[in-house]
């Protein structure tokens, strides 16, 4: 076990007594709770998004942001444009936190994403504990650190994706692999202005997202407030930042690879998602 100071040592001592299998079970119960608003169709994908957005604020130059402080629980970060609707996910996990008070919010949010991916048929995500919560909103990073769905044109959108992900330390292959999480969930007009699911199996983690990018015919969808694409049936959608993965010559080979090889996608996604959840953290340990 590693530690970087009094808070880290104290947290590690408390976390060592946590019944982590019980925490995982309680998270799975949240995901499977079809009685609450949203039900299983919403909760699994939304917990993945919570983990993603709590981690994706990292800046490798300033070494700020990332999942380490659990700052997405603060209203100041939930108010960021990319986090619309995630207040629901934070609330879903409050009973779990109350039941396991020695678990930091930062650990709980990242673990919930890993558990949700596996619960929905995805790979087992290696996860380590030891994140120490920030005490107040002063640790919240500025808005604008998460990827934008549309920068105005395919070249600009590709450049914007690289700017955000390169800031965290990801390359083109990792960008495409992480984008594969769009196999899950759907967009909501009241949250993002976009509407609809990316695939017909939004609660199953698979490589269908990549297959659809390549095989479906995508045309502009004028039925919704923001610019997005629809398939021939009008039931599925893609964002400009999705289509750019096949429009950009350096991204496309990875889309083609993952569409053909689910095992390769799962392996590369696991590595990239594990890296994402640990950006900027220190003193983590296996549980």
Residue 138 pLDDT exceeds 50: yes
| Confidence grade of residue 10 (pLDDT, cut at 50, 70, 90) | low
Active site residues per annotation? 53, 198
Angle formed at CA 241 by CA 180 and CA 174, multiple of 5 degrees: 40
The answer, yes or no, to whether residue 231 has pLDDT greater than 90, is: yes
CATH number at residue 78: 1.10.520.10
Per-residue pLDDT at 1 exceeds 90: no
At 127, the pLDDT band (50, 70, 90 cuts) reads very high
Are residues 57 and 115 located together in one domain of the fold?
Answer: yes
Domain identity same for 279 and 140: yes
* 139 and 104, same domain (yes or no): yes
Contact by Cβ (8 Å): 241, 157? yes
1 found inside a domain: no
Does residue 162 sit within a domain? Answer: yes
DSSP reduced 3-state for 220? strand
Q: How confident is the model at residue 11 (pLDDT cuts 50, 70, 90)?
A: low
Answer yes or no: do 55 and 178 share one domain. Answer: no
* Structural domain count, the chain: 2
| Residues 119 and 173 reside in one and the same domain | no
Whether residue 68 is contained in a domain is answered as: yes
Q: Could you tell me the residue range of the domain that residue 244 belongs to?
A: 154-269
Mean pLDDT to the nearest integer, 254-271: 98
Check whether residue 141 and residue 229 sit in a common domain.
no
Tell me, yes or no, whether 187 lies in a domain: yes
Terminal alpha carbon distance of the chain: 10
Let me know whether 264 and 277 are in one domain. no
84 within a domain of the structure (yes/no): yes
Q: How confident is the model at residue 8, as a pLDDT?
A: 62
- Token pair 């993965």: residue: 245
Residue 199's CATH number: 1.10.420.10
Question: What pLDDT is attached to residue 35?
Answer: 52
Same domain, 47 and 162: no
Looking at the fold, whether 201 and 116 belong to one and the same domain comes out as no
Q: What is the mean pLDDT of residues 111-136?
A: 96
DSSP symbols for 97-124: HHH-TTS-HHHHHHHHHHHHHHHTT-PP
Q: What is the pLDDT at residue 5? A: 59
């Amino acid at each position: 076990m590693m530690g970087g100071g009094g808070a880290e040592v104290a947290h590690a001592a408390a976390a060592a007594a946590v019944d982590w299998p019980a925490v995982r079970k309680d998270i799975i119960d949240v995901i499977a709770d079809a009685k609450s608003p949203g039900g299983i169709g919403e909760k699994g994908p939304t917990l993945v998004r919570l983990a993603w957005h709590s981690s994706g604020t990292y800046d490798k130059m300033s070494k700020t942001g990332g999942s380490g402080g659990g700052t997405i629980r603060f209203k100041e970060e939930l108010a960021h444009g990319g986090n619309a609707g995630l207040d629901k996910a934070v609330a879903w996990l409050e009973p779990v936190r109350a039941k396991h008070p020695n678990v930091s919010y930062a650990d709980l949010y990242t673990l919930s994403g890993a558990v949700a991916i596996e619960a929905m048929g995805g790979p087992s995500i290696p996860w380590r504990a030891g994140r120490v919560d920030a005490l107040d909103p002063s640790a919240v990073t500025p808005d604008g650190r998460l990827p934008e769905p549309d920068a105005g044109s395919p070249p600009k959108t590709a450049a914007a994706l690289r700017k955000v992900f390169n800031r965290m330390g990801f390359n083109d292959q990792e960008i495409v692999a992480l984008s594969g999480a769009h196999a899950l969930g759907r967009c909501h007009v009241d949250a993002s202005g976009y509407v609809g699911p990316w695939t017909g199996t939004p609660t199953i983690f698979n490589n269908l997202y990549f297959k659809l990018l390549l095989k479906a015919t995508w045309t502009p969808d004028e039925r919704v407030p923001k610019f997005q694409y629809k398939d021939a049936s009008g039931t599925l959608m893609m964002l400009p930042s999705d289509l750019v993965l096949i429009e950009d010559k350096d991204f496309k080979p990875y889309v083609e690879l993952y569409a053909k090889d689910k095992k390769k996608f799962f392996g590369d996604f696991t590595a990239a998602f594990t890296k994402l959840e640990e950006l900027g953290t220190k003193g983590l340990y296996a549980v």
